[in-house]
Copies of this chain bind each other. A is one copy, B any other.
Amino acid sequence: MDQFSILSNKIHTTKATVGVIGTGYVGSSVAKETASAGYQTFGFDLDKKKVAEINNLKIKNLSAHIKKDLLVDCDIICICVPTPIYKDHSPNLKILKNTIQQVSNYLKKGMMVVIESSVAPGTTRGLILPILQQSKLTAGKDFFLSFSPERIDPGNKKFTMKNIPKIVSGLDENSLKLVIQFYSIFIEKVVQISSLEAAEMTKVLENVFRFVNISLINEIADYTRKLGINIWEVIEAASTKPYGFLPHYPGPGIGGDCIPVLSYYLLDSAKRNNTLLRMVNAAAKINEMQPKKVIDLALKILNGKTRKNNVKSEVLLIGVAYKPGVADLRESATLKIWDMLEKQGISVSYHDPYVSHVNGFSSKSLDPKNLASKDLIIITTAHSNIPYQMLVDSKKPLIDTRNTLQGITSTNIFQLL
């Protein structure tokens, strides 16, 4: 029997062993689903804590490991490792490359490698395939290669891995057939794409769309502020249009591991292909300026005084996660604001119900006494479980970058936008 039929059979009979490299939000979701569907599943992660977390769940068919020896037993390997950016916004593919190199060492006949990590168009064919081919095995015949971008929205209870349609693509027809078969096991709708590159681009487009639209509203908000127009009211009003409009909201800067990251991956890819992307460039420029606007307003409110009576001014940041309801700090604008405040000689502390430690600091509990020592409070993440009224009652100046205090009237509230 050929390798395609053997693997297809193994998937069909639940005999395939699944390895998931990277057990963050995405990888752990995939691993749990395949394990509960009856597949022997191994999760791999260098983070001891994540490995322990999974093993503590004691899910049937699922175990997590730091060492990758067990890859030798895997038929399907899902790559869910992060693809972050460097401080200069250039793509950091080190983790991905190293991972693929390790997979290549274990590659054997009948294996399928599925890439879930977000990459620029052309990466699976141009970067990943050549590394796997070092094994001397033939792609599409001996082994299979597919790209299927993750679409999980952390914190979203309505749309989960199961009911978000899954984009799939393959290097060749066999790879495509196998990846469709695989994800159909635990995902309701699988959407077949004609090429690896079109699938990679789909994920990029979804995220660039948000990057551009949030930057647009940040730009518009700057202008409406000048005009004395409340942008939040305008967005709410525009949202009553029943077609052709999707609201996006201003804030201190776009964070997370997807929206800004993929936008910079696209910009890098376009630059290498001598293509100027004016819209995406403009969006990046605006996004990079957002934290500075918060700092400017903060300094204005502190009356330029970063010290009072020879003691540093104290600023409390409410929320360090990049979005409400999660603990994820990746590309969080709050961390940039924190850094910039400290560079101004200001003492920074934070409160975040989801993030107990960061930058060597612990989340400060919120009580009137604690607030009394602050010179300024900045709401940077719109977590729902914050005692906002207590912040207002402290009578301390408050910068509300997220309109979380909508409806509360107080002369101490300053809107960034």
Interface residues, chain A, CB within 8 Å of chain B? 121-122, 151, 153, 156, 158-159, 163-165, 167, 189, 191, 193-195, 197-199, 201-202, 205-206, 208-210, 212-213, 215-216, 219-220, 222-224, 226-230, 233-235, 237-238, 240-246, 270, 273, 275, 277-283, 285-286
Query: Across the interface, which residues of B come within 8 angstroms of A281, CB to CB?
Result: 282
Contact, CB under 8 Å: B278 / A286: yes
Contact, CB under 8 Å: B222 / A275: yes
Contact, CB under 8 Å: B201 / A224: yes
Whole-angstrom CA separation of A153 from B245 in the bound complex: 13
A-B contact pairs, 22 of them (CB 8 A): A121-B229, A159-B243, A165-B241, A165-B242, A189-B240, A191-B240, A193-B237, A195-B229, A197-B227, A197-B228, A202-B238, A206-B241, A206-B244, A209-B244, A212-B212, A213-B213, A216-B279, A216-B280, A226-B273, A244-B246, A246-B246, A281-B282
Nearest-CB residue, chain B, relative to A219 = B279
Contact, CB under 8 Å: A282 / B278: yes
Tell me, rounded to whole Å, the shortest Cβ–Cβ distance linking A70 to chain B. Answer: 33
Closest 8 CB pairs of A and B: A278-B282, A165-B240, A202-B237, A246-B246, A282-B282, A216-B279, A205-B238, A201-B234
Copies of this chain, tallied across the complex? 2
Q: Which of B159, B224, B243, B277 contacts A223 (CB 8 A)?
A: B277
Q: Which of B189, B193, B223, B273 contacts A275 (CB 8 A)?
A: B223
Tell me, rounded to whole Å, the shortest Cβ–Cβ distance linking A35 to chain B. Answer: 25
Whole-angstrom CA separation of A191 from B237 in the bound complex: 7
Query: Across the interface, which residues of B come within 8 angstroms of A205, CB to CB?
Result: 220, 234-235, 238
Whole-angstrom CA separation of A122 from B201 in the bound complex: 41
Tell me, rounded to whole Å, the shortest Cβ–Cβ distance linking A56 to chain B. Answer: 31
Whole-angstrom CA separation of A286 from B282 in the bound complex: 13
Nearest-CB residue, chain B, relative to A190 = B240
Tell me, rounded to whole Å, the shortest Cβ–Cβ distance linking A214 to chain B. Answer: 11
Contact, CB under 8 Å: B279 / A226: no
Tell me, rounded to whole Å, the shortest Cβ–Cβ distance linking A188 to chain B. Answer: 11
Nearest-CB residue, chain B, relative to A228 = B197
Contact, CB under 8 Å: A233 / B286: no
Nearest-CB residue, chain B, relative to A167 = B237
Indicate whether A237 sits within 8 Å of B286 (C-beta atoms), given known contacts A208-B216, A242-B164, A279-B212: no
Whole-angstrom CA separation of A298 from B2 in the bound complex: 49
Whole-angstrom CA separation of A241 from B278 in the bound complex: 25
Nearest-CB residue, chain B, relative to A121 = B227
Tell me, rounded to whole Å, the shortest Cβ–Cβ distance linking A115 to chain B. Answer: 16
Contact, CB under 8 Å: B121 / A245: no
Nearest-CB residue, chain B, relative to A166 = B240
Query: Across the interface, which residues of B come within 8 angstroms of A278, CB to CB?
Result: 219, 282, 285-286
Query: Across the interface, which residues of B come within 8 angstroms of A219, CB to CB?
Result: 277-280
Contact, CB under 8 Å: A233 / B279: no
Tell me, rounded to whole Å, the shortest Cβ–Cβ distance linking A318 to chain B. Answer: 25
Nearest-CB residue, chain B, relative to A209 = B245
Whole-angstrom CA separation of A227 from B287 in the bound complex: 27
Nearest-CB residue, chain B, relative to A223 = B275
Contact, CB under 8 Å: B121 / A233: no
Contact, CB under 8 Å: B216 / A209: yes
Contact, CB under 8 Å: A233 / B189: no
Query: Across the interface, which residues of B come within 8 angstroms of A275, CB to CB?
Result: 222-223, 226
Contact, CB under 8 Å: A164 / B229: no
Contact, CB under 8 Å: A273 / B223: yes
Most chain B CB within a 10 A radius of its CB, from A153, A197, A227: A227
